[in-house]
Structure 1
Amino acid sequence: MGQPLRVGIVGLGAISGAYLSTFERLDSVRLVAVSDLDPDRAASVAAERGVRALTVDQLTTDPGVDLVLNLTIPAAHAEIALKAIAGGKAVYGEKPLAVTLDDARSVLDAGRAAGVRVGCAPDTVLGTGVQTARKAIDDGAIGEPVAATATMMTPGHERWHPNPDFYYQSGGGPLLDMGPYYVTALVTLLGPVVSVVGAASHTRATREIGSGSREGQVIPVDVDTHVTGVLRHASGVLSTLVMSFDSVATRASQIEVHGQAGSLVVPDPNQFDGDVQLHELGGAWRTLPPAAGYRDAARGYGVADLAATPAGVPARANGEVAYHVLDIMTALLAAADTGTTVSVESTCDRPAPVPLSDAPQAPEVAEVRGPR
């Protein structure tokens, strides 16, 4: 086995805790440094984890860091990624890859020019939930796929998040925030998308924070908070997508995939596992045992998978998939704005399937450099 990948984290907000917990049990990655806009927070995490607290400029140029894990707010994703790439580092970022397609393309182009890998969440699709469903589809369990539905209905993150402002600013909203989980799952299950139609609404001008030190504070809403659309996959499958911060709850399955010979219920794509249910023509619903994916996966497995992927082979949670997912979502917002069908100009290969396995093994560090 090679040496663990040395990771530096930029951004120590709410999501960082999940990555920090995962890295404690992954042999293939090793946290070496952290950075945050709040130096006291960085110092506290560094002391707790036994690593160094650095400034962003220090971390993105430090020779002891192989990969920068970018956990900043969406509006800063491209800026931090480009800093890291300029410092010769591989990059793995939280979703979305960037707020705009132009910024996302600049990150991919810079990574290619520098010869470093670019990866991006979500990595939930690498777990046993989506991967078992994918294997069932690929094995012909539902016959030829015809349609899919993906539904996410919540009252909004301001009820629980202590600093929810960015969810309601450019780069936020239910589609760009939660959509990556659902759209990435649909692309993983059914392949790339070629066009979209859609509609959206903006029901409230403000939201009230419901927890933390800012409880009761009112924040502005600058984005659409209910988005629905139909995605036409290159295969001809039609996927119906509903993303909302304006509802209370739903009893609809998170994702369903329907074929000529059967239907699948796919578990929550914001989680790594869950039951996959199959209803074959003439049969009844039954639960499929896990048959593919990383067992007991959690946020951070995409970093380990990227590191363990041989040079010249695309990692599963790669930048081109993230770019295509962002292209689909921005096209859907444009379609909702114009009331027209909008073509999705980019495409991507379906990521390689994940055989049923435990965590990726420690890689050769040099493999994070070179072609994505």
Structure 2
Amino acid sequence: MTASSLGVGIIGCGVISEIYLKRAQTFPQIDVKAVADLNPNAARIRAEAFNVDALTVDALLARDDIDIILNLTIPAAHMDVSMAAVNAGKHVYSEKPLTGTAADARALLSLAAQRGVRVGCAPDTFLGGSHQTARALIDQGKIGTPLAGTATLMLPGHERWHPNPDFYYVRDGGGPLLDMGPYYITAMVNMLGPVSRVSGMGRSSRTTRVIESGPRKGQEIPVTTPTHITGVMEFTSGALVQITTSFDVEAHRHTPLEVYGSEGTLLVPDPNRFDGTVALYRRGEDWQDMPMTHGYGDDNYRGIGIADMADAILNNRPHRASGKLALHVLDVMESLLTATLEQRTIAIQSHCDRPDGLAPNLSVGQIHA
């Protein structure tokens, strides 16, 4: 650990680890020291490609020069790995979801508070240029008071392209909401603040799906979770946002995110990306594509969240992609699913502060200017 950066150890060397390792070189706030994976060959490949050490998980957790564990394991392992990191006295930043359940997330955050370490979690795409630009336009009053909105993810289903899509269709952790909801809900919390209550309805269009690619092509898999979920999120600000996530829709023309205000409307691009064009309509004017006013909107900057967390630790300030934010988003998703299954409205028990916005026009590598 130096005065300007924190050492990082990565546990989980799957596909997504490559972009994190690449982007770690962008941010001077973090310095990747080592990687680990249950598959030693996967760790060795990443270590050789990025000139870091390949270790066992236990050896990595024991390293004194590693301050933050970047947890890139499969979702089912997030809780165990993050708890091990916290018990080792390390800060931890996890890929989404933070844990499998909101109850587990609360336990993780409670232990972290006891140990005096921080927890962070993806997605960090809300820190991208397009979403920070949209947030700034809302804060500047360009659409007046935000009143409502929509969040829309609709596609035919992952069996079209994924060779092993089984886990997308199981009751425990599957379905379109848990798959991609973190991006959409986090983006809305970034713009509008926390959610106070939700309601929802849903259905499964089919009891089985047929895999359409790979060695299992033609095999049927069971569906045990709703595959089309429509809900309403009421924000503490009073805004009402309709959210629809579906694996049942062949095509549509909805913008991923829209925010409706008393004086205008914002169209906001894909929350799974850092780039895209924000469009603004104001009463009495034509639609305008807005110039991007914030950095990190020209490429894939996954890893900005852990870099911001390191900078926050070094400068004793809150970090933006926080464990409390991730818990709140997980709580909202769980509550939407429960509301769907039980056909009722549910008050959200968790709360988080709206994360601070980034300063405009940051240079690549800068975080807190």
Cα distance in 1 between the residues matched to 2:62 and 2:218: 41
Match of 1:175, SS state, is helix
Q: Deviations over 1:230-286 (max 9, x none)?
A: 000111100000011222232111100011100000111110121110000011100
Superposed counterparts of 1:278-317, under 5 Å: 278-296=280-298, 298-310=301-313, 311-317=315-321
Are the equivalent residues in 2 in contact too, given 1:192–1:349 (CA < 8 A)?
Answer: yes
Quick check: 1:337 aligned with 2:337?
no
Quick check: 1:152 aligned with 2:156?
no
Q: CA deviation at 1:302?
A: 0.6
Cα distance in 1 between the residues matched to 2:151 and 2:356: 22
Q: CA deviation at 1:216?
A: 5.0
Quick check: 1:106 aligned with 2:111?
no
The 3 A distance-change label for structure 1 pair 163 and 237 is same
Q: CA deviation at 1:219?
A: 4.0
Are the equivalent residues in 2 in contact too, given 1:127–1:293 (CA < 8 A)?
Answer: yes
Q: Which residue identity does 1:306 align to in structure 2?
A: M
Runs (4+) of structure 1 exceeding 6 A deviation are none
Superposed counterparts of 1:83-102, under 5 Å: 83-102=84-103
Aligned mate of 1:354, from 334, 354, 358: 358
Quick check: 1:275 aligned with 2:280?
no
Structure 1 residue runs without a partner (length 5+):
364-372
Equivalent pairs, count: 363
Q: Deviations over 1:180-203 (max 9, x none)?
A: 000001111111111101012223
Question: What is the TM-score normalised by the length of structure 1?
Answer: 0.91
Identity of aligned residues (%): 50
Superposed counterparts of 1:1-372, under 5 Å: 2-169=3-170, 170-212=172-214, 215=217, 218-296=220-298, 298-310=301-313, 311-356=315-360, 357-361=362-366
Q: Which residue identity does 1:53 align to in structure 2?
A: A
Structural RMSD (CA): 2.0
Cα distance in 1 between the residues matched to 2:19 and 2:223: 27
Cα distance in 2 between the residues matched to 1:90 and 1:349: 20
The 3 A distance-change label for structure 1 pair 214 and 7 is farther
Comparing 180-189 with 8-17, greater Cα deviation is found at 8-17
Structure 2 residue runs without a partner (length 5+):
none
Comparing 119-128 with 48-57, greater Cα deviation is found at 48-57
Q: CA deviation at 1:76?
A: 1.3
Cα distance in 2 between the residues matched to 1:36 and 1:159: 29
Match of 1:299, SS state, is coil
Q: Which has the higher contact order (CA 8 A, sep 6+)?
A: 1
Cα distance in 2 between the residues matched to 1:29 and 1:304: 6
Are the equivalent residues in 2 in contact too, given 1:71–1:94 (CA < 8 A)?
Answer: yes
Match of 2:137, SS state, is helix
Comparing 243-252 with 290-299, greater Cα deviation is found at 290-299
Q: Deviations over 1:281-335 (max 9, x none)?
A: 0111001111235344511111111111155422010010111111111111110
Match of 1:40, SS state, is helix
